[in-house]
Structure 1
Amino acid sequence: MIEKKSIEYEKAVLVGVINQLQNAEKVEEYLDELEFLTYTAGGEVTKRFVQKMDVPNPKTYIGTGKMEEVHAYVKENDISSVIFDDELTPAQQNNIEKLLKCKVMDRTSLILDIFAQRAKTSYARTQVELAQYEYLLPRLTGLWTHLERQRGGIGMRGPGETEIETDRRIVRDRIALLKKKLSKIDRQMETQRGNRGALVRVALVGYTNVGKSTLMNVISKSDVFAENKLFATLDTTVRKVVIGNLPFLLSDTVGFIRKLPTQLVESFKSTLDEVREADLLLHVVDISHPNFEEHIASVNQILDEIDSTDKETIMVFNKIDQYVPEVIEEDDLETEKTSVHFTLEEWQKTWFNKIGDNALFISALNKENLDEFRQRVYREVREIHVTRFPYNNFLYPENLDEYSQTEEE
């Protein structure tokens, strides 16, 4: 009998800062997400450090006293990585590493590392490699220090490990080469998209880990990789889907996240072309997350950056089976009712008032309300199709129920 090896997680601590832009509650929420990112990358968070300061220390980001506290904990508990929630300057990262004598990362480098793990295809690997080089270019001095220690683990994947002797000129040449390679692949992908014919294109968008891939599997009856970790999907997957007798193309895209590194937005712009060229967006939301409305705002911000906010969009509130509102006891007269106390019915009423019937509430995992979902998507896709091809109007009934009745007869 073969013994199963237990997974060894790298010990890490997190560091966040309370300032004018983010209060204590917001910082805790960001650190919760950062902890999930760390877990996804293969790390285990043992402690969090939070400091309140108006302006970050230009040399070490956090104050001297807090830095000594972090250093003592790192030394006593054999911590491998210290991860900051905000992006560090190259000088700050270098200074902190000298003080703590361990790996120092920020949210950007952690996300890049997860992308390096998740990239499976040549195209995705090229996109990630480009983003890594652009991030590492101003940090080459710190990178060489990493390489002298030759450590593995979180943040040590990627091009740096094989570029010990490189200098800035060679790195810039590599960046230019990768951009040229991506440009060539972009043209090929543009041709592929053009060859798909006149089928209506529907794209799943949303925050990371909201259930897009699970929904994709249910609708298209395919086997797209889905996992309860951040960024389970990097490569865009396109499937031909038929609802009733109406065919269309459905694409599953990379999930978005707050503070998404600009290097990744730029490198993955071709992947996001699937969104830009879609006729209809299905904006999937995890309604069970306490801050799902902020997730919606983050996704809309990135959609705005790629000029896709004006597209026809259906809001798909997923994971209704996991939604649990906070309850106010009957004898509690002090607690003010807020959105965290809303029932599912109250949220439905709220969003119906905001956007009408463009809001759907489903559970992709438990297949709740999927008939309503299919009917709504069918009507929307049909409208786009018959507008494009009026002479096909008679082929597709206005309602999916009519098609089902025709099939039964």
Structure 2
Amino acid sequence: MTDPVLEQIRGLARPLRTPADLDPLLERIGDARVVAIGEASHGTHEYYAWRAELTRRLVEELGFGLVAVEGDWPDCYRVDRNVRLRPDADEDPRDALDAFARWPTWMWANDDVVDFCRWLRARNAGLPEESRVGFYGIDVYSLWNSMHELVDWLAENEPGHVEQAKRALACFEPFGEDGAEYAFASRFAPTSCEQAAVDLLRSLCERRGDAEAATGADARFAAEQNAAVVVGAERYYRAMVRGSAESWNVRDVHMADTLDRLLDHAGPKAVVWEHNTHIGDARATDMADAGMANVGQLLRERHGVDDVVLVGFGGYRGGVVAGREWGTQMERMAVPPARAGSLEALLHDALGDDALFVHPRGDRPGWLHRRLDHRAIGVVYRPERERWGNYVPTVLGERYDAFLYLDDTTPLQPLHLERADEHVPVGALDA
């Protein structure tokens, strides 16, 4: 007897073999201003490769003008300068990406991102400077790097204001660039650098007019963004000691705020690259029950569902690069077949092959309204926990507007092993 749910899945699925198979998704995107493209892990080649293929088409065919990723602003600004052919930038994107020094470096320092950035640089080379597509990091972790970058920029461009930045930096220096130590101190002692950071950001923004003309709007924007990271990171580390939900929300609000500033500065249309747990609407998962919001939810609330398209990924089995603990050396790990009853197992049973799903705007088949376990692999992964962990209960048709299913996957190829002297941020949750 034919299972009606499997028939519904087969009826909505479209083959996914070449970039041309993305045509139904581009039609769905249409005039949307923001397309957020996820990944079901931070270490799977196929997620990165298909995301890059979709982004190429969005840039070339629909005029998207910036790529915003789940990475640190200072590191990604070095990549941005490369792909937009700025003076004194690295000649090869590989050099800019290989310089990433915050764990987990493999998220961005890998062959797939190198290939995309080389393509972007080559495309930008044929365009006037004002039309070149940028590559930006919107995450919150880089408190000390952003502070040092800001002090250096002020010393070169606005020396009269560098003392204020140094005073703000001095507030953080007793904690040895250790987020856990700062979080602990702010919880159990009356020590907080919040006001110094906020005052610095406010001062930079108030001086924007003449300074932009003197130093260039892009450079000034980068300085302001580094100051905004200091503000956001300070709040993030303080929130960590009060619980993962609060620190998660501080981080995702910061990323959504940064994207809004980028749309105003470098827009008008943005592609966002982040983990599914950030770009899939949290209200369609158990994250909402824990009091967590995320970037996908905030984008829909701020810009409207017609201007935002959320694209998720999932895979049945294969391989991944991840760490077994936070801050440990990366490993190539086998990803076992998805557990019975999960979304990925259901799609495997129905299809057994890669497929694209573009969710109908009106009436949807019933399986899109069911809450199903949906695998999520972060930078930390333990395959032995598959029986009870590694899954997020999800209503697929509400969490995403489209979904790419990949039946068998392979690990990313990192540019380098994790280095002994790299910075390991304190993270409440690993996605």
TM-score, normalization: structure 2? Answer: 0.27
Highest CA radius of gyration, 1 or 2?
1
TM-score, normalization: structure 1? Answer: 0.28
Higher relative contact order (CA 8 A, sep 6+): 2
